[in-house]
Amino acid sequence: MSASSDVAELRRRVADLERQLLQAQKLTTVGELASSITHEFNNVLTTVINYAKLGMRHKDDASRDKAFDKILAAGQRASRITTGLLSYARRGTERREATDLVKLVTDVLILVEKDLEHHRVRLELKIESQPVPSEVNAGQIQQVMLNLLVNARQAMANGGVLTVVVRGDAKAGLAEISVRDTGPGIPPDVLTKLFQPFFTTKQADEKGQGGNGLGLSLCREVVESHTGRITVQSRLGEGTTFSVTLPLAAAAVELSPAAAVLQRRGRSVARAG
């Protein structure tokens, strides 16, 4: 076997290992959200059952229509959660296409909003322009965002505010997503090591499970493979901000109604311009 074929085989194996690590990280994150998602489905089922009973008891059309509307809304919410979860958890392809980052972010937020509520974290979504198209592998960027959101929530053990900003800069040709928490901040000596493989500050839980130190390292790998950058800013006592910058695509993409859904549910959704 020639040296060139040896190198090619090594690259293939490294790429395959990276795909396996990404999939393992996906399943780890899904596991961390399993409790809150299960609780949310119980809420949906309770809504469906109660309004079905209400509709059966009442004879007038107005009461029945109201019950049917509530049942439909609950079913649609369950469908959005299921679709988002399956889309995130399945093995992705290497294909990249023009994707609206506003839609991508709001779809991911649907998966975590109940987890945030449970931990007394208020979500603020600020959409400064839309659409914000970028040529990406949507599954991989979803994974980056979900990892950052879960990390931010975990940093606010006593509750706080999680601010997510999506913006596009046409002049610079860049799209940016930032995730800011109001946690205790990260010490300077830790800040320089955050993206190193296998570095983690998470302690093992009662089952002996803790962070494997691959989350942020894989996030950086994914973002840089998209010709982007991921950066972090933090000050003790003032919280932490992670920013993901990606090339802005010229292609038009369909707008998503997901931001409006979050807004109707009482979140803070701000638009500029």
Which tens digits make up the pLDDT trace of 114-133? 889 888 999 999 998 889 99
Closest to 80 measured CA to CA, from 269, 265, 266? 265
Mean pLDDT to the nearest integer, 145-170: 93
CA distances from residue 79 to 44, 46, 52, 73, 118 in whole angstroms, order as listed: 10, 15, 18, 10, 21
Closest to 33 measured CA to CA, from 181, 151, 124, 164? 151
Domain covering 3-85 in this structure, CATH number? 1.10.287
Give residue 256's identity as a one-letter amino acid code. S
Res. 146: pLDDT tops 80? yes
Q: Tell me the per-residue pLDDT of 58-102, one tens digit each, with 9 for 90 and over.
A: 777 777 787 888 788 777 777 766 766 666 655 555 688 999 999
The full set of domain ranges for the chain reads: 3-85, 96-271
Calpha distance 94→96 (Å, rounded) = 7
The β-bridge partners of 124 are 163, 268
DSSP code, position 91 = P
Token pair 């910058």: residue? 245
Q: Tell me the per-residue pLDDT of 225-252, one tens digit each, with 9 for 90 and over.
A: 999 999 999 999 999 999 999 999 876 5
Q: Domain 96-271 belongs to what topology?
A: Heat Shock Protein 90 (3.30.565)
Calpha distance 246→241 (Å, rounded) = 16
Calpha distance 216→196 (Å, rounded) = 8
Say whether pTM exceeds 0.85: no
